[in-house]
A and B are shown apart, each in its own frame.
Chain A
Amino acid sequence: MMRHRGGYSLIEMLAVVGASSLILAAIAGLLTLLLRVEAAARKDAEAIADAQRLAEQFRLDCRTAEGIDIAEDDGSTEYWELTLSGGQMVSYFVGPEEVTRAVEDESEFESYCFPGGISASIELPDENSQRVVRLRLAWDYSAQGGAHRTHWAIEAAMPAGASERIAHEANK
């Protein structure tokens, strides 16, 4: 009489191991994808938040500015210098991945980060734009999986008394 032995055959074991491996590989792939999407989303959200903070601070500075000037440092890097009421100087420097605001007499620095790289330029008011300064920002944004360049224009009104000074600085 043959003895019946309980257990699984080798084929069954191979099928289970194969199926489990596939499931684990799929889960690992999904987790990697989700983590990558989440990291890109966090980076984008931080860049947007910093752009909004920069816009708010730039408008506040312009609102009390008596003059604005585009200057160059020794390395020919362009920066913007705002003279606030009371003579306080505020400068904006553009780096490869950040814009830095520096207050002269208080040695105060504030950075706005754009991890994908930032380019920024400023347009001083002319006769058509009255007293509105335009700050143009462009940075890489990973919307919908692909990298895109997003462009923002931030407009800021300067006080009425600043007009003459702006025109003078722009013609220097």
Chain B
Amino acid sequence: MAGTLKIGKFEVSPQSGAAGTHQIGHKLTEKHTGRNKYQKMVRASINNSDANATEILEISGLTPFLTLNTSQTEIAYNVTTATINGTSNASKFRVSSNVTLVTNTGYTVSGNEGTFTSGFGEQSSGNIAIKVQFAANNSQSSTSIPVKVDYWNGTSWAVSGTHTIIQSSADAGVTFNITPSTLSQFSKGGGKQTVTIESSVSYSIELQGDIETTWVTLSRNSGSAGTATLDITVAAQAVGAAARELNIKFKNNITGSVVGTLEVEQAKGEDYAISWASNTLTFTNDDVGSIKTNNLTANADWYLDEPQN
């Protein structure tokens, strides 16, 4: 007896054996986070015969969820959009009516309701980036904009939570300019972009908007009054990874106000790809003992499986 058979998220062992009654072990190798049932078929067959038996391994779908990665975002007085990052396996979501939901990668918009791309969340959860729009803050004090996010649990709307957008007031007499004022979208391979910052006050620089920020590296995390450059370096995307984004915020060290923000966006990773060198292989009836080789090319971990339907 030997070998472990990998079938999707399952491992079955041993993979072969002699005549008799055997205990076959089944192991789940990764959590199923999709909202639909996950199912795989295992076929046991006797050598040189048509005799076989099948079993179905299945995992129930995970109850739909939508989790927000952070509870707040700080922005400058004149910034009118913010992105709320999270994770979900739901089919759709909605935001409270005090903001306007705008289109972003991964969903379509109807009013304040967003519908995720077809198939999203069915077999695994994924990252989401909800973009909302609101007015500039022209008042003399900072303002808080609570954005309530709901998701569809299959039968009704459920509350995910509230993400608060804190919009600073304009600091009178402060000069803070970023040139260029926006970054180009980083490619899947990552790279570096440089901006020049002109400020009349000392300031801090922070990454915000996601729980995972290690993919962005800054050349410094503070600055003094004057003109200086800032390098923003972005790591390469993994194969199959979704597009991602976060914000850099610049805060006045004296007042604590956000005097500037910069959005960092990166394109999705390379799509998964797998292909056989030849899609058909033929043996003659007495080709016993001859081993034919067919080459496979894949850009990530791969496995072989019987068609499931």
* A interacts with B: no
